[in-house]
Every structure is written in C-alpha cells, then in structure tokens.
Structure 1
Amino acid sequence: MSQPALTGVGALRAAGRAPQLPFRIALDDGRELTMRRLLRVLPGKRLVGEAELDDSRVLAKLFIDRHGGKRWQQERAGLDALARAGIPTPALIAAKTIAGGGYALLTTFLEPVESLAEAWARVAGRSADEREALSLLVPLLAAYGRLHAAGLVHEDPHLGNFLCHAGHLWVVDGDAVQQVSARRSLPAARARANLAMLLAQLPPAWDDRLSELLPAYAAAAGADESELAGLREEIARFRAWRLRDYLAKTVRDCTLFAVEQSTTCFRAVLRQEAAALAVVLASPDAVIDGGELLKDGATCTVARVLVDRRELVIKRYNLKSLRHALGRLWRPSRAWHSWREGQRLQFLGISTPAPLALIEERAGPLRRRAWLICEYCRGPNLLTHLSPDCAPPSAEARAILDLFESLCQQRISHGDLKATNLLWHDNRVLLIDLDAVVQHRTAAAHARAWRRDRARLLRNWSPGSALHRWLDDRLPAA
C-alpha cells in the first residue's frame, strides 16, 4: 500500500476546511505523522484529528498559523497543569515542531469516548427534573470543583471539552486551562465567575436546580456555598453574552455554520447538515414541487418533503405584489428572522423544530424571496390534540406550563399564539411559526406582548370550556 502524500504547513493552510486525507507531515525529530481523520478544523489555524505515529494511534493537534507557537505552548502548559493536579486528561506523548514550520502536540487517543456535549444532547430536551440529566451534571460539577481546588480555571468550559471515558470525566483543551494559584485554591470571586461560565452552558431551566448541583462542586472545591452568592446573576450575564455571540455565528461562516454569499444568493446551513441538504440548498423550489403542500398562500408556501428518507419542512416566503416586494427589499426576510429566533429558542432550551438552513434570494444588497428549512414534526397541534371539555393530561399540562414559564422568564413573545402553532411531540410542546417572535429588552415591553399572546391563546377555546378555565388559572398572569 502506497504511503499518503507528504505535505507541508503552507499546503495545509491553503487547503482551508478540506485538507486531502490521509496526509503525512514530517516532525523535527525525523519521524512522520499520518493524519487519518479530522475531528475539528479551524481553517488556516489549527487541525485536530486521529493520527498515527510509530504505528500507534494518537490524537494530533496541528498548529499551522504563523502565531501558532503561543497556542502550542499554552496547550502543553495546560495539560501539564491538569496532570500535576491529578485531574484526568489525555497523556502528552510528544510536543514537536513541524519541519518547515508549525507545531504538533500529540496525546493518547481515548476510546471508547463520548463528549459530555454528546451525552447531554440525548437529554437536553427533557425536563430539568430528569435523573439522567442530573447524573451527567453532578460529576461535571465535582470535576470543576477539583479544578478550582487546584488553582486552575478553564476559560472555555463548553460541554465538548469534557469527555466520558473509563468511568471518569476527562478535561481537554489544555490551551484554555490557566494556573491562577500555584499552591492554593482559586480566590472565591474568580472561582464563582468561572463556575458561572460553565453553568451558563445549560438551559435557563437549570438555574432553578442549582441547589442540587452546587453541593458536588462545593465539596470538591473545598468551598463554602455562601461564597457562591450572586452566582445566578453571573450566570445570566455570561449566558446573555454567549447568546449574542451564538446568534452572530448563525449568519457567519464558522465551525458550526456554513455560510455562502454572492450577489444573487445568501445561504446559511448547520455545517454538519450541509452535505445532506445539498440538493435543497441548490434548488429549494424543485424540492418543494416534489413534496406535499401543507400551505400555499400568497405570502408563504409550506411543504413537507422527503430528503434521503428524512422528513423536512420547507417554508418559502413569497412576494405577493410589486408593492410587497419593494417593502421587503431592504429588510431582513421573515425567513432570516425565523432562522435567528429558532436558533435563539434552541440555544435557550425552548422546544421548536430544529432550524437547519436559510436561503435568501438577492439582487446585490436587496432581498427578494427566501426559504427556511426545518426538521418536520409529526406531532398533532394542541387544537386537535386537547379536548376543550377537560384539563390537559398530566404530561401535556406540565409541558404547556414549562413552555410558557420559560418564555416568560426569557421575555420572549410569539406574536401569533394560535393553538395550531403549538405541536405535541415526544412529551414536549414545540413552538412553530416564529415569524413574529421577539425577545424583549424590558419587562414592561414583554408584559404588553404577553397580554396579547395570552389572550390569543385563550381565544382558541370558548370561555366556558374546562380547558379555557384551566389555562386561564395556571398560565403566567397577564
């Protein structure tokens, strides 16, 4: 079998997101590293993947930009600090420069392994009361407590940087680990702020469960829970920052989203879905024509389609007249707004069918028609699912109240709260038709919008019905 081509750092930079695999690079000690599979790519900066060195499998991080040496040194220092503190982290095998420039850091390849982000994805849509979700978070808080007890902080504590392997939680991404206190635990204020960064990764519903999470952290950190006063406010601040950053990424080419823009078209798609949705992105109208029309109106067309045996919904926003078209030219399309608000709801842990892609037809800076592609949900809407003659069954009742409590906590209004825009699926109530969704800046603005939303929801059932009375008694007050 012929060996993969030997390549250099310059070629890897030029390859962007798609270096040809497998490839070999020469290390400064004369050995060669063969990259077999890429796990993460930061174009022109860093490649992370499964590789071979001396016939052994390793995890390789290649720092290929001109300033990669600093990050390489930080990564090595962080891993050393974790190892000295006795915190599980992949063992460092080699830290070498690459012949011709660049740096390589090689660690043991853990297998089998699952990131905490992957484990969390299985339970994230469930209630915060779920024991399985709690069983993932308590060990995480304990591990974070041990980190702080060792005087360390992790400045990028997203769930993907914690790995489940061999019955332990492993900490990775050493370049985000800093040694703040060499011989003692973190100062209380620094520890609280760093803990808030971690907890801000969770949906807001978990803020009410802190009393079940913090004891594990406090015991491992050797901290008094009184030192964590004000934690909720810090979590809210970090979460707001993360939300702004995330929403900006939804329309920018990055690790999570693939974005293409030309004088005639704008496309944004979840990067992991780009290949599967290629046919839709290329010709959405043709896919709509081959699907089942759910709505065909002057302002929008909605179709259920099958793409590679997967059910999706495509919503096309039409231009019903010249006047309508002129009015939309300079404004973000309703598809753009729905895409953004769908991503907002998902980020906040509020159930809605996953938004997968956005397409806008453009003439230079001017917008014309637009398309939104989402997951299809087969669940019935609440107008058909609930009987007006009685209160909802217990599962539905809990899901309805959880949804509206979450929306009100986040100051989010829907704008068209018909019961047909609420779907019952997998023990959750999903919100659809997000064209008018708004997250309000002030409580007063939200209160005005919530009064309208609440009244619209109640109008779905006659005032004398048992369901109307049940909702009126239990929904957040207007």
Structure 2
Amino acid sequence: MTHLPLTDASALRAAGRQPRLPFRVLLADGGELLMLRLLRVLPGKRLVGEAELNGSKVLAKLFIGQRGERHWQQERTGLAALAGAGVPTPALLAATALAGGGYALMTDFLDPAESLAESWERLAGPAPGDGQALALLAPALTLLGRLHAAGLVQQDLHLGNFLRHEDTWLLIDGDAVRVVCPGQRLPLTPASANLAILLAQLPAAWDGQVAALLPAYAAGASDSLPDLPALSEQIRRVRAWRLKDFLVKTLRECTLFAVDQSATRFRAVVRREVEALAEVLRSRESVDRAISAGTILKDGGTTTVARVVIDGRALLIKRYNLKSLRHALSRLWRPSRGWHSWREGHRLRFLGIATPAPLALIEERCGPLRRRAWLVSEFCPGPNLLRHLSADRVPPDEEATAILDLFAALHRNRISHGDLKATNLLWEHGRVVVIDLDGVVQHRSAAAHARAWRRDRARLLRNWPTGSVLQRWLDERLPAG
C-alpha cells in the first residue's frame, strides 16, 4: 500500500464526511498509519476506523480539528484511568502527533466485537422485565458500578460505549471519562446522576424495572445504591433532554441525518438511507414520478399517498398537497404537515412507540415560505384494527396486551393523536403501529393532555357500535377520560 499518497490533517478536514479510502498518514515519530475503513466521522474534527500500524490491525482515532490536542489528551487520560481502576477497556498501543498537525491514538482492534446497543437491537423491543434483556444489561451495569467505585464517571454513557469481546464486557471512549474522586468511591449524588444517563437510554416502559436493575449495579459499586425516587426523577429529566436534543438533530446535518437546503427546497434524510433513496429524492419531479409509478392508496385534496417499491423494498410516500390558493396562503408561514409528521414519527420511535420509520422529508420552499411537502417512510402492510378486531368479542391476548401497552405509553408521555380512528392503528408482528401523525402532539401540561386525550378516547370508542363487547372492553381498560 506504499503507493497510496500520503494525506494530512488539513486534507482530511477538507474531505468532510467522505475522505477517500484507503489512505496513509505520516506520524510524527516517522511511522505510517494506513486507514482501511471508517467507523465514525465527525467532519473536520475526528475520524475513527480500522487501520494498520506496523503490519498489525488497530483501532485508530485521528484528531484533526482545532481542539484536537485537548480531546487527544483527554482520551489518553481517560483510558489510563480506566486501566488503573481495573475497568476493562481496549489496550492503548500508541499515542502520537501527526506529521503536519493533528494527533493519533491507537488501541487494540477487537474482532469480533458487538456493542450493547447492537445486542439490544437484536432483542427487537423486549418487554419490560424480560429475563434475556435483564441478563444483557447486567454486565454493563456492574461495569458502571466498578467505574463509580473507583471514583470515575463516563460523561457520554450510552449503550454503544459498552463492547463485548470474547465474553468480556469493556467500556470504551476514554475522552468522556473523568476522575472525580481519585482512589475513592464516588459520592451517591454524582453516581446517581451518571447512572441515570445510562438508564435513560432504555425505553420509558422500563422505568418501572429500575429496582430490578440496581442489584447488578450494586455488584460493581460495592453494594452502594442510589435513592430510587431521586434516580427515577433524574432518569425522567435526562430522557426529556435527550429527546429534545434528538429532535433538533433530525433537522440538521449530523451523524444520523443528512440535511441540505436552498432557497427552493429543504431536504432531510436518515443518513443510512441516502444512497438507497438517492434516485427518488433527486428532485421534486422524481418523487412525484415514484408516486405515479406506485400503488395509490389515497388521492385526496390535501394528501396523496402511494405504496412504492424501491430495490425490492416497499415504502410509503405521502405528498401534502395545496388544494387551493387560500389553503396555500394559510400554510406559507407554518411548518408543513410533512415536517410535523417527520418530527413526530421520530419522537414516537425515540419513546419506543411503534410507528413506521420516517426516512426522508422534502419541503418545497420559496425563501422562508413553505409550500408542498413529501414524506417517505417505511410501509407497514398490517391490517388496521377496524378490520383485524371483531366488535362482538374481546381481543385475543396478544392484541389485548399490545393495545393496552400502546395507550399506556401514549398516556404516560402525554401524547395525543388527534385523529384516533381504528384505521390509523395497524396490527403487525405482535404490536400496534400508529400511523397518520399529522395531528400528534406531546403536551407540556397534564391539563392540556387530559382535554386532548378525552377527545382521542371518545374517537377511538366510536369505531365500534355502542355497547358492543369490544367497545365495553376498551372503555373499561383505557386510561380514564
């Protein structure tokens, strides 16, 4: 690979998210690093990937931004603190400056390895208290307890920072590790706050399982347990902050989303879908061609909905039309219904509430003025509840549990739908999927939510004949109006 041209920090900053691979960088000590595959890119700041150093495979972090030296030093210090406390973490192999500016840090490349986030995703939304899920979370909680027992915190706790390699769990990302009480146990207040960051990554439905999770944490923290009510309140606050932060990211360029806009168009796409949807999203005309070539499910004055197939994958495209000049004028200054549905779809999924994944949003603009919009999402083929359930009998056990779990989650998060017809609730793979999110609202106050929920509840019950078995069953079990 010596024929590959050398690059440097300035060239890597200029390359943004897509530096050409493979590439070589010269280290200040005269060595060379060959980067083979990128695992994470923070444009202009940091590159993380699989690399070769002196013929051996390593995980390399290249700090190429203006504050690169500070983060490089923090990474070194954090990894040393973890190793000193006996907390498993990938071994530091080398840390050096790059020739021409920037810094590099190399650790063991663990292969095969799986993050806790990947393991959790394979469980596909485990029920609260599920034994397999509890067993999966326990080693990470024990590891965090050991961290706190050593007087350390990890400020960027998420499931992706716990890694399993050959039946050993490791904590990664030394940049976020801080030494709070060298050689002493962390006081309960900061320990509880740090633990809340990790537990807030779990779906809100798991909040009732915190007591069942604490023994695993205590096993590492020498039986030191935080106050349960205080911890629960901290979890709620952290999750609210994470949701707010995430919703902002859905509308700006970041690791998860690709966003571009001009005077005539705004476009946001889930980054991993950019390549697959490139042809459809090339222009407003290309989206409309896809709709015309698809199966039209609805063609009304305000919306046109089509099922389309892209590379063998069924998707749904919803176009928000402007039915008249008056309607167009009324929408000019407001975010489009497509924008609203994009945001609320991501909100529901963040909260663990089933809804088809929103994949892309396009808004037609004239400067700051909004016009038509298009929303691309996954297609849910399941039957709606009006068709799936019989009015003259109680729902089967699986459906009954899923229905009650859905409305408990919506109620717990103060979310109203706005048009709760049974046709907007689909049955798929043992869960109830919510669609048509144009009117979804997460209310700030309990009073506002109570008023909206009474309307939602009444609308849902009107789907079936008054006094029918199913209607009575729902009326007795849904949260009160």
Q: Structure 2 length as normaliser, TM-score?
A: 0.98
- Measured in 2, the distance between the counterparts of 1:330 and 1:227 equals 48
- Measured in 2, the distance between the counterparts of 1:450 and 1:31 equals 65
Following TM superposition, by how much is the alpha carbon of 1:397 offset from its aligned partner in structure 2, in angstroms? 0.4
- Measured in 2, the distance between the counterparts of 1:224 and 1:170 equals 21
For residue 418 of structure 1, what is the aligned residue in structure 2? 421
- Measured in 1, the distance between the counterparts of 2:13 and 2:108 equals 25
Mapped contact 1:4–1:34 kept (Cα < 8 A) = no
Mapped contact 2:188–2:226 kept (Cα < 8 A) = no
**Per the alignment, in what secondary structure is the counterpart of residue 225 of structure 1?**
coil
**Per the alignment, in what secondary structure is the counterpart of residue 6 of structure 2?**
coil
Mapped contact 1:124–1:349 kept (Cα < 8 A) = no
- Superposition pairs of residues 332-371 of structure 1, within 5 angstroms: 332-371=335-374
- Superposition pairs of residues 32-431 of structure 1, within 5 angstroms: 32-225=32-225, 227-282=227-282, 283-431=286-434
**Per the alignment, in what secondary structure is the counterpart of residue 279 of structure 2?**
helix
Mapped contact 2:129–2:206 kept (Cα < 8 A) = no
- Measured in 2, the distance between the counterparts of 1:343 and 1:186 equals 36
Following TM superposition, by how much is the alpha carbon of 1:3 offset from its aligned partner in structure 2, in angstroms? 2.6
Following TM superposition, by how much is the alpha carbon of 1:229 offset from its aligned partner in structure 2, in angstroms? 4.0
> In the superposition, relative to structure 1, how do residues 52 and 427 fare at CA in structure 2: closer, same or farther (>3 Å)?
same
- Measured in 1, the distance between the counterparts of 2:444 and 2:363 equals 28
Mapped contact 2:192–2:226 kept (Cα < 8 A) = no
Following TM superposition, by how much is the alpha carbon of 1:366 offset from its aligned partner in structure 2, in angstroms? 1.0
- Measured in 2, the distance between the counterparts of 1:135 and 1:433 equals 37
Per mean C-alpha deviation after superposition, the further-off stretch among 123-132 and 398-407 is 123-132
Following TM superposition, by how much is the alpha carbon of 1:124 offset from its aligned partner in structure 2, in angstroms? 4.6
**Pairing 1:447–2:446 present:** no
> In the superposition, relative to structure 1, how do residues 226 and 82 fare at CA in structure 2: closer, same or farther (>3 Å)?
closer
For residue 477 of structure 2, what is the aligned residue in structure 1? 474
> In the superposition, relative to structure 1, how do residues 185 and 19 fare at CA in structure 2: closer, same or farther (>3 Å)?
same
**Per the alignment, in what secondary structure is the counterpart of residue 36 of structure 1?**
strand
Counterpart code for 2:380? C
- Measured in 2, the distance between the counterparts of 1:236 and 1:227 equals 14
> In the superposition, relative to structure 1, how do residues 178 and 228 fare at CA in structure 2: closer, same or farther (>3 Å)?
farther
- Measured in 2, the distance between the counterparts of 1:327 and 1:62 equals 50
Counterpart code for 1:286? R
Counterpart code for 2:92? L
- Measured in 2, the distance between the counterparts of 1:461 and 1:98 equals 69
- Measured in 2, the distance between the counterparts of 1:405 and 1:229 equals 21
Number of equivalent positions: 478
Per mean C-alpha deviation after superposition, the further-off stretch among 165-174 and 123-132 is 123-132
Counterpart code for 1:350? I
Counterpart code for 1:363? C
Counterpart code for 2:64? I
Following TM superposition, by how much is the alpha carbon of 1:462 offset from its aligned partner in structure 2, in angstroms? 0.6
For residue 458 of structure 1, what is the aligned residue in structure 2? 461
- Measured in 2, the distance between the counterparts of 1:166 and 1:95 equals 25
Q: Percent sequence identity over matched residues?
A: 67
- Measured in 1, the distance between the counterparts of 2:21 and 2:226 equals 53
Mapped contact 1:266–1:359 kept (Cα < 8 A) = yes
For residue 28 of structure 2, what is the aligned residue in structure 1? 28
Q: Structure 1 length as normaliser, TM-score?
A: 0.98
- Measured in 2, the distance between the counterparts of 1:124 and 1:241 equals 24
Mapped contact 2:211–2:228 kept (Cα < 8 A) = no
- Measured in 1, the distance between the counterparts of 2:129 and 2:152 equals 31
Following TM superposition, by how much is the alpha carbon of 1:464 offset from its aligned partner in structure 2, in angstroms? 1.8
Mapped contact 1:48–1:60 kept (Cα < 8 A) = yes
Mapped contact 1:267–1:357 kept (Cα < 8 A) = yes
Counterpart code for 2:356? P
- Measured in 2, the distance between the counterparts of 1:357 and 1:392 equals 35
